[in-house]
Amino acid sequence: MKMNEIFQAYAPEYIERFGETMPSDHRKVINSIINCRTEYCGTMIYQCEKCGKTHIIYRSCGNRHCPNCQHHKTYQWLTKQVDRQLPGHHFMITFTVPQQIRRFIRSHQRACYAAMFKASSETIKKLVLDEKYIGGDLPGFLGVLHTWGRQLAYHPHIHYVVPGGALSKKDDRWHPSRIDFYLPVKAMSKIFKAKFRDEMRKNNLDSNIPEEVWNQEWVVNSQAVGAGANSIKYLAPYVFKVAISNSRIIKIEDHKVFFIYKKPRSNRWRTMVLDVMEFMRRFLQHVLPTGFMKVRYYGFLSPGTSVPLEKIEALIELSFGFVITKPEAKIEPFAPPKCNHCGGRLKYIASILPFKLTQSGSG
């Protein structure tokens, strides 16, 4: 069972039930998923290099929330990031928000997601300055916003991949962190909470948040993940992954969707059953605001940095006193389309874009 089949069959019922309150972004995603790989998106022409047979393939919709469209993007991003990986140890740092404000965040997504990024990134930058931990003023890290749990529940949090250290502009040296410790999670929790609250005040949204939220600990997790390639490969699926893949959907029966999931720290697949309307609602609540950047780069990994990565790499090697060999990351190559007649490789010939009617002036 594919996601577009579910939407094709049940979107009219869903829109009739929730259409008056549905965000316009949700409608766009519904239309994109329904029309993905149909004549509505246009066609591509391929020719088999072996037998010469011509193949007509429907184009994908390209929507970032469509399960059909993200594999190639993930492969391209992962290949680029692995090429840019730095030597030495890395960390995965995750910032989460209390359950009590998840509904509030879902209702103010653009402002709250931006606040989460700003508060968490500034937390890392602030603590990296402390000589007790690292004593550098230019860390580099990348973050990805992730909004769902394994059962499609709403659970916004940000994953960061962070090289273990920072550059100091004072002495122009790399200040490495400990192999097993980057920054204290309790300190990160307090600063993240305070900075998020400041952002809510700036947006005049703090009065909507219960006081008890500010009196509890916020959860921040820091985990040593070894070489950069390992952490990047772990994070890559989250970059272009959508809330649920087609492979996890088993069937739809009696107005219910059956899909599989794993609990944390378990490898056993379990089956969950949801009414199709609830399933669609859970999926659509993870649609991001139009144009919102869910992947962000900071410090010396930022596109606008004046410090080249080659210099950072050299300083890291110098700090350890020897050349560090970067481990090779095994990336499964992206499989090109093959001929269903002889198995030969397909060669791209041309694309035919869809014809869409546009309104014009009278006359």
Work out the percent of the chain whose per-residue pLDDT is above 90: 67
Question: Quick one: pLDDT at residue 350?
Answer: 94
**Look-up: residue for tokens 């009196």?**
215
| Terminal Cα distance for the chain, rounded | 48
Name the DSSP letter for residue 131.
T
Question: Quick one: pLDDT at residue 237?
Answer: 63
Given a contact cutoff of 8 angstroms between Cβ atoms, the answer to whether 139 and 299 are in contact is yes
Please calculate the CA angle 122-294-82 and round it to the nearest 5 degrees. 90
Q: Using CA atoms, how far apart are residues 329 and 229, in angstroms rounded to an integer?
A: 6
Q: Which two tokens stand for residue 347?
A: 């060669």
Q: Using CA atoms, how far apart are residues 272 and 285, in angstroms rounded to an integer?
A: 18
Residue 157 pairs with which residues in a beta bridge? Answer: 96, 146
**Look-up: residue for tokens 């050299």?**
314
Question: Quick one: pLDDT at residue 363?
Answer: 38
Low-confidence ranges of the chain (pLDDT < 50): 357-363
At position 162, the amino acid (one-letter code) is: V
Given a contact cutoff of 8 angstroms between Cβ atoms, the answer to whether 250 and 258 are in contact is yes
Nearest residue to 113 (alpha-carbon basis) of 278, 286, 313 = 286
Question: Quick one: pLDDT at residue 362?
Answer: 41
Question: Quick one: pLDDT at residue 360?
Answer: 42
Tell whether the torsion through CA atoms of 31, 109, 237 and 313 is positive or negative.
positive
Q: Using CA atoms, how far apart are residues 274 and 266, in angstroms rounded to an integer?
A: 22
